[in-house]
Structure 1
Amino acid sequence: MGDCIDAPGSTSASPRWVWAMSSASEPTRAVVVDDSRFMRTLIRTLLEDADVEVIAEASNGREAISVVSEHRPDVVTMDIEMPEMNGLDAVEAIMDECPTPVLMLSAHAEEDADVTFDALDRGAVDFVTKPGGEVTSEMPRVKRELVEKIRSAAAVDLSATQQTSRPPKTKARQQTSATSPDSGVESESLPEEGTTLVVGASTGGPNVVERVLAALPKEAGLRVLVVQHMPAGFTERFAARLDARCDYEVKEADDGERIGPGQIRVAPGGSHLLVTRDSGGKLKLELSDDDPLHGVKPAIDLTMSSAAKTVNTPLAGVLLTGMGRDGVDGMTRISRAGGHTVAQDEETSAIFGMPKRAIEAGYVDTVAPDGRIAEETLRGLTT
């Protein structure tokens, strides 16, 4: 394993670091941090059974900082509530001193959702929910999610996540003119009958989704659907955070509801979100309990494909950071239906997996950094 090395542009007064990554042939090396010996043992067993090497453990945040500095792992699993120093402070310290991809372990409780998002704000790259209730019955789900997210987190490009600007902390100021100064596109030129935008994201996506939506001018009157790979119990709080940070009305999607201009709906974790029409021909949202697609639920492909089939007014698809190929088929269908497609670029993507595959498929109109995605989407819809 390589050393921590100075990142380009760093100074001795304000050191920033990146890892010299091991070769792809070497196993993923992990550090497990949890104040519960039982939980550390459980996580170690699950990871080692999947050929992930657990090189060290820590029982609190302060110890975690030292262990990470000493062992230089590819990824860290981090509990939230711990003595001496909690997981939030530990993440922040690790990202300041020697950044390493951190995967948070969160409980299912609603109050833990806000804390988990705080961890993402501080630099954690993703999270997975701990087993709840009967541990034995939860093991297949926990093992699958933990191993998949460990591997995704280990592949994150931290230099890209550090380039991403944070969205505003409060609801954006509503524009009184018909032009958004951020986008440089006259929103009044968008069609009056309504324009639909579908945004898909996975690992590294929450903060980028916030930034993209915060840059959408209210006067554009878009109908926006967001599919962020996220477990049930967290998407409602994610929607509330988005609502506080952009000019649109944002909430988790309800089965059977209509969506109108100026509204954003987030696909609930554990359900697929489809676009259909009611008896009067108006757009309606439908939640499906079908099996996961690409191992995820909600799946970006299903939402985008249903929108491409149903929407007969201007349509756009945006595919952001994430591992795998969810969204590739959906972007293809939107493009073939005459819609505009935008993919996040490699430089600002935490994981350039889904966008890369969509670009290679040949159905992406524009490739843009996270800070210009809203602008390029609006521009594509008005030309």
Structure 2
Amino acid sequence: MAKDIRVLIVDDSAFMRKLISDFLNEHPNINVIGTARNGKEAILKIKEMQPDVVTLDVEMPEMNGLEALQVIMKEIPTRVVMLSSTTQEGAENTFLAISYGAVDFIAKPSGPLSLDLDKVKDEIIQKVLMASKANMKGLLNKTNQDSSLLPKKDFPKFNRTTANIHQNKLICIGTSTGGPRALQQVLTNFPKTVNAPILIVQHMPAGFTKSLANRLDSLCHIHVKEAENGEIVQNGTAYIAPGGYHMKVRKGGNHFYIYLDQTEPIGGHRPSVDLMFLSVSELKNVLKIAVLMTGMGSDGTKGLKALKSSGSTIAIAESEESSVVFGMPKSAIATNLVDEIVHLEKIAPTIMKYMDV
């Protein structure tokens, strides 16, 4: 079998370069064609070697991964997978990298020099394979705001004390690879008075979803937060399922409550879009708007079938053109249950037209 995916490894640690190279070279389809010690060297080697995928460390001397990534995406657009630490600063840098155009990221298990990197060996291989298929047009699609230049918003939050407690609409969004940038595009286009709660499952490890929520909250008119067990959902608020937890919604009296648990992963995912959709499908007298965006695999398709069977569900899928990875939307579309297939920038307006239904 031909080793057709050509990879460049960029890390300032010789140990890490060797370890990642050995992992990837074990796969029959992957060929590590070179390594680089810092961002400057990486840019030169990308121009010379034209790899299909680059794994890029964040913390490096001379030119770090974030600086290099901005140059790479401007001068020689290439599919990049970031390696980052699980610290708060590492998480914030990860979302900057994704906003600059990285396909995805891998969290190092134990800091910059992770001697136990073998714990994420399979993840490294799978994410490089996935990145090789990523849609460059989707990656280069600019979000509607350059978040690196935005000041923290100074406008007031939606007044949750006046929210309609008896909810009659619910927006549910599922996404994976390419999701953080896609969520930024969608959520920043919601007005602060959106008359529904927004439930979000983004495939992401524990430790990153809170930083994602805080980042999006600083950019959006609506309130964005990491979901908490037992809280009442409110209009004008988006709830992101915490990494490592499934998120469900149940009704109690006139309220809808969020329930989090750590039951077994579904299809390898926790949180699972399917499980969130399945729980929402059990709610009565609610218009459900289900959205599936960029991501690998088929998570959400089974749940979408349950939602449609329950009635009162509008299904929206992101188009192939704008998806970084057209897996989850494609699987949903194949069911013939999707009502609207739209480009990423049209998803928020499409949702909003159903708010007056």
Name the TM-score, length of structure 1 as normaliser: 0.84
- 1:158 alignment counterpart: 136
- 1:116 alignment counterpart: 94
Q: Residue type matched to 1:204 in 2?
A: G
- 2:209 alignment counterpart: 235
| Aligned alpha-carbon RMSD (Å) | 2.4
- 2:294 alignment counterpart: 321
Quote the offset at 1:220 in angstroms. Answer: 2.4
Do structure 1's residue 336 and structure 2's residue 309 form an aligned pair?
yes
Quote the offset at 1:376 in angstroms. Answer: 1.1
- 2:321 alignment counterpart: 347
Which of 39, 55, 73 is the aligned partner of 1:77? 55
- 1:379 alignment counterpart: 353
Which of 223, 227, 230 is the aligned partner of 1:253? 227
Contact 1:203 1:229 in 2 (8 A): yes
Q: Residue type matched to 1:49 in 2?
A: E
Where does structure 2 lack aligned partners over 5 or more consecutive residues? 159-163
- 1:13 alignment counterpart: none
Contact 1:194 1:223 in 2 (8 A): no
Contact 1:105 1:130 in 2 (8 A): yes
Contact 1:131 1:139 in 2 (8 A): no
- 2:275 alignment counterpart: 302
Aligned residues: 345
Quote the offset at 1:25 in angstroms. Answer: 6.3
Do structure 1's residue 40 and structure 2's residue 13 form an aligned pair?
no
Do structure 1's residue 30 and structure 2's residue 7 form an aligned pair?
yes
Contact 2:53 2:128 in 1 (8 A): yes
What SS does the aligned partner of 1:220 have?
Answer: coil
Distance (Å, rounded) in 2 between the aligned partners of 1:252 and 1:71: 41
The 3 A distance-change label for structure 1 pair 353 and 34 is same
Q: Residue type matched to 1:266 in 2?
A: I
C-alpha distance after superposition, 1:269-318 (max 9, x if no partner): 1111111234x352111112122222222111111111112353111111
The 3 A distance-change label for structure 1 pair 145 and 312 is farther
Distance (Å, rounded) in 2 between the aligned partners of 1:112 and 1:200: 24
Do structure 1's residue 105 and structure 2's residue 79 form an aligned pair?
no
Quote the offset at 1:144 in angstroms. Answer: 2.1
The 3 A distance-change label for structure 1 pair 76 and 138 is closer
- 1:207 alignment counterpart: 181
What SS does the aligned partner of 2:193 have?
Answer: helix
What SS does the aligned partner of 1:199 have?
Answer: strand
Distance (Å, rounded) in 2 between the aligned partners of 1:81 and 1:308: 44
Quote the offset at 1:81 in angstroms. Answer: 0.9
Quote the offset at 1:137 in angstroms. Answer: 5.8
Residue pairs, 1:127-138, within 5 angstroms: 127-132=105-110
Contact 2:179 2:295 in 1 (8 A): yes
The 3 A distance-change label for structure 1 pair 161 and 135 is closer
Which of 244, 258, 271 is the aligned partner of 1:285? 258
Residue pairs, 1:165-184, within 5 angstroms: 165-167=143-145, 169=150, 170-171=152-153
- 2:340 alignment counterpart: 366
Is the deviation greater in 338-347 or in 44-53?
44-53
C-alpha distance after superposition, 1:255-276 (max 9, x if no partner): 1211121221101111111112
Is the deviation greater in 280-289 or in 152-161?
280-289
The 3 A distance-change label for structure 1 pair 145 and 163 is same
Distance (Å, rounded) in 2 between the aligned partners of 1:372 and 1:72: 33
- 2:241 alignment counterpart: 267
Distance (Å, rounded) in 2 between the aligned partners of 1:309 and 1:113: 35
Contact 1:172 1:214 in 2 (8 A): no
Contact 1:164 1:208 in 2 (8 A): no
C-alpha distance after superposition, 1:69-117 (max 9, x if no partner): 1111111100011111110111111111111110000011111111111
- 1:10 alignment counterpart: none
Contact 1:172 1:245 in 2 (8 A): no
C-alpha distance after superposition, 1:216-241 (max 9, x if no partner): 12222211111111111110010001
